[in-house]
Amino acid sequence: MTQAADTVVRRQIVVEAPIDRAFAVFTERFGDFKPPEHNLLAAAIAETVFEPKVGGHIYDRGVDGSECRWARVLVYEPPNRVVFSWDISPQWQVESEPDNTSEVEVRFTAETPHRTRVELEHRHIDRHGPGWQAVRDGVAHDQGWPLYLDRYAALFDNGH
Amino acid sequence: MPTYQPADGWELLADPTRRAIVERLAQQPSAVGELARAFPISRPAVSQHLKILKEAGLITDRAAGNRRVYRLNPAGVAALRDQLETFWNRALEGYQDVVNDSTEENQ
């Protein structure tokens, strides 16, 4: 059975920063690096708020004042670990049934006093159920994700 | 970008009954008889839908005693997984840039 691996996304990255700052940037400035096409609101996002406590939410606030709470903070252990739910269905709507949501764990490990390893695991993706049709619509069209992400990546090309 | 296939799978899911069957199988693996009771269609009709969905790779089946239990093919969630993988690749690259920038500001 290889299914388990198919329902998990693991990524890790090393940043040149102390663990405290690595954790703080991830939680306090989540909206600064979240891909901009990730928006369930009708309006543009004015800010993304990561409430730093268990039971808090990650939510987007639109320029028109509307809000979208798309994650629940499940574990908040600065500066080592944070876990939050992923309450977004494949149909790009907020999923209100917790059983149908996946979760994201982010672990921070100090490699040196000035370098931190950040390991991210997005797991239980299969809990979202079928959504292939919506996924196809969202990512496969020329004007969808591919083009948008290319433009996004280009913003970071200068100076790095 | 990953490619999403098979295109035939999308067309199959345009059928409301097949979509309903798939949604039910996503919640719980089921035998033909259970599906026939859950939907207002005959058992042979359910079997025909299951055959088409299985050929498209959207569901799988296995014997369980004297029954044949159908379930969602985990490969179906691969499309969602690919999408999230792309999302996190972008997010972590952006995160690294933000960390670097904020570290420079503090030096």
The mean-pLDDT minimum among A88-92, A133-137, B38-42 falls in A133-137
Q: CA A98, CA A41: separation in Å to the nearest integer?
A: 20
**Separation of first and last alpha carbons in chain B:** 38
pLDDT averaged over chain A?
79
Tell me the pLDDT of chain B averaged across its residues: 78
Position A26 pLDDT exceeds 60:
yes
Contact (CB<8Å) B98/A9: no
> What local confidence, expressed as pLDDT, does residue A83 receive?
98
Between the CA of residue A132 and those of A7, A10, A94, A138, B73, what are the distances in Å? 14, 21, 17, 10, 12
**pLDDT mean over B33-59:** 87
Q: Residue B85 and residue A130: Cβ atoms within 8 Å? A: no
3 state SS of B6? coil
Is pLDDT at A154 greater than 90 in this prediction? no
pLDDT at B36: 92
Tokens of B74: 């985990």
pLDDT of B15 higher than 90 = no
Residues of A with CB under 8 A from a CB of B: 3, 6-9, 11, 13, 15-17, 21-22, 25-26, 29, 32-35, 38, 86, 90, 118, 120, 122, 125-126, 128-133, 135-136, 138-140, 145-146, 149, 152-153, 156, 160
What six digits make up the tokens of A146? 């591919």
Tens digits of residue pLDDT in A92-122: 678 888 888 889 999 999 999 999 999 999 8
* Chain B positions in Cβ-Cβ contact with residue A7 (cut-off 8 Å): 74, 77, 81
Chain A / chain B CB contacts < 8 angstroms = 132
pLDDT, mean of residues B77-97: 83
**Interface touch A25/B76, C-beta < 8 Å:** no
Task: Give B14's contacts in chain A (Cβ within 8 Å).
Answer: 133
More confident site: A40 or A18: A18
User: Pick from B77, B86, B103: which is nearest to A125 by CB?
Assistant: B77
- Among residues A154, A80, A86, A156, the alpha carbon closest in space to that of A119 is found at A80
pLDDT of residue B21 exceeding 50, the answer is yes
**Closest listed residue to residue A118, CA positions, set A31, A53, A47, A25:** A25
Most confident of A127-141, A146-160, B36-50: B36-50
CA distance A63 to chain B (A): 22
Tell me how far apart the alpha carbons of residues A106 and B27 are, in angstroms, rounded to a whole number.
28
Binary contact (A13, B88; C-beta < 8 A): no
* ipTM for this prediction: 0.70
